[in-house]
A and B are shown apart, each in its own frame.
Chain A
Amino acid sequence: MAWQFVPTALGLQSYLFPTFTEVVAAFRGDESELISALWTTLIEATTGVVIGAMVGLVLGAVSYYIGPLRRGLLSILVVLNSTPQIGLAPVVVLFLGSGLESKIVLIAFVTSFTLLLYTLQGLDLVPREEERLLQSFGSAEPWIFVKLRLRRALPTIMSGLRYASSQAIILAIVVEIFSSNGGIGHLILLETSLAGYVVMWAAALEGAVAGLALFGLASLLEKRLTWWVG
């Protein structure tokens, strides 16, 4: 709503700050470009998150049992978090080019460390009594892991997944702006240089939609897997 009225109210140049209806109209006109950009970015982010999540989960599960590995991975994580992730963009693009692969790899890399952290935190939350109960049955540790520890860790892991999803879209778009053949970031950059601000805003809107969509997917998954919480 505000978008519709504020620009004209503030007397902003309509070619720099189009109103909401004008932006939506752009979808009618340039839809093929906008749709393919959205699709590209979504593919990059989703693939990256899925791969990264699986890697992070496995690493978390393994390093839960191996102390030195856990400490080693977590110290790498600290270093990683101190580096602006965008700083890694040139590195990936240098090695993997401007296509989808470079974005997917970077997103997977970052996501795996996020999920590693959340997985470890989740696994630490097992109530002692439940652990003792299953141990008293004489069960082997792999069974206890699957039937108890993993389940108890799921709520934490899922919230990590939600966080990683929103991170992923932002990262994808930023790397696309830096260097890309397609995607929302690329489109934004292109349209800016062509002074096609309406399409640019439309692309930005898409970015928000993509972020919400991925976040929404992650939330749905969370609901399905952790329905028993609370």
Chain B
Amino acid sequence: MTVARQPGLRAPVPLTAAHANEGLRGLTIKDVNKTFSVTRTSTLSALSGINMAIAPGSVVAVLGPSGCGKTTLLEIVCGLQLPDAGGKIELGGLDVTGRRGHFAYMPQRDALLPWRTALDNAVLGLELKGIVRKEARSQAQELFRIFNLAEFTHYYPKQLSIGMRQRVALLRTFLFPSTFMLLDEPFASLDAITRMNVHLWLLEMWERLERTVMLVTHDIDEAIFLADRVIVLSTHPGAIVLDIEVPLRRPRTLEATTTEAFLGAKRRLLDALGQQVRAFLPTD
């Protein structure tokens, strides 16, 4: 199922030849397990039996409490870690298990390098992919302009507010020559109001620049608001306990967060997550 976009809303901006050529691709996660050895005799099962298929051009949220292996899953997908034997990651049919450079990855903290300006941080991925800095800068400049951040290009990270830093990090992720984005709790460090703003900003960017997004979060409202589909992971071991479609139309507006459809989805997710909490409550 590919996501239905409202036609004629705004023209997509491919931005680089790399993005245009690659096109949107789907992701298949097959039989991914991950065990860590804690001591010489005992092991911890971080992920168990993860199987997922993500449609090109969709936004999928992976929801779960901290420690449920969400970050591990993202790292396995983008090749920073290997799954246990037998696990496979396929991007558009291509086996990319353990191979790096196919995904636009954004780690939990913004990881902006303090000695680089906002613009130079945004082009970091392009630069390391071999694109000449001047060319990379002009592409980035264009993106900064479209999203009203042009005046911040020469600021250094320490001069930027946390919301701004997240936006710059997101721009860096959008600029990376891959149409598949992996976001690891990108809004966790933002206060509620800034988070709302950055959500809308992200949705706007996603509308304009075609991408497939896999987003990890612990925030239920965020998952429902941003995604087409929400997958709930349990902890110890991390396994899929629920997989629902989000019944909200695009483009999403803040009003949608108070509709019956939104609350219905939220109820189902709370129920699935609530079972996690009950596992830790005292039993007497």
Contact = CB atoms under 8 A, between A and B. Distances in A.
A132 B129 contact: no
B264 interface: no
B113 A130 contact: yes
Given A151-B113, A151-B115, A228-B114, A132 B80 contact: yes
- The number of chain A residues touching the other chain, given as a range, is 10 to 19
Interface string B59-79: 000000000000000010011
A82 interface: no
Interface string A126-155: 010110111111110001000110010000
Contact of A137 (B100, B108, B115): B100
Given A139-B128, A228-B156, A148 B102 contact: no
Contact of B101 (A138, A148, A228): A138
B174 interface: no
B132 interface: no
B103 to A, nearest CB: 7
A129 B107 contact: yes
Contacts of B249: none
B123 to A, nearest CB: 12
B101 A136 contact: yes
Contacts of A227: 115
Interface in B225-283: none
A188 B105 CA distance: 63
B108 A129 contact: yes
A80 to B, nearest CB: 33
A132 B75 contact: yes
A183 to B, nearest CB: 39
B176 interface: yes
B133 to A, nearest CB: 12
A138 B100 contact: yes
Nearest to B74: A136
A137 B128 CA distance: 7
Contacts of B106: 133
A136 B111 contact: no
A215 B282 CA distance: 62
B125 A137 contact: yes
The winner among A132, A143, A148, A229 for most chain B CB atoms within 10 A is A132
B107 A132 contact: yes
A227 B116 CA distance: 11
Contacts of B101: 136-139
Given A137-B129, A228-B114, A129 B100 contact: no
Interface string B91-129: 000000001111101111101011100000000110111
Given A129-B111, A130-B113, A228-B114, A135 B80 contact: yes
A111 to B, nearest CB: 26
A152 to B, nearest CB: 9
A132 B103 CA distance: 13
A216 B199 CA distance: 49
A147 to B, nearest CB: 7
Contacts of B124: 133-134, 137
A15 to B, nearest CB: 56
Interface in B149-198: 156, 158, 176
25 contacts: A129-B109, A129-B111, A132-B107, A133-B105, A133-B106, A134-B124, A134-B128, A135-B80, A135-B100, A136-B79, A136-B80, A136-B100, A136-B103, A137-B101, A137-B125, A137-B129, A137-B176, A139-B128, A143-B128, A147-B127, A148-B113, A228-B115, A228-B156, A228-B158, A229-B114
Given A129-B107, A136-B80, A139-B101, 12 more contacts: A127-B111, A130-B113, A132-B111, A133-B105, A133-B111, A136-B78, A137-B100, A138-B79, A147-B128, A151-B113, A228-B114, A228-B156
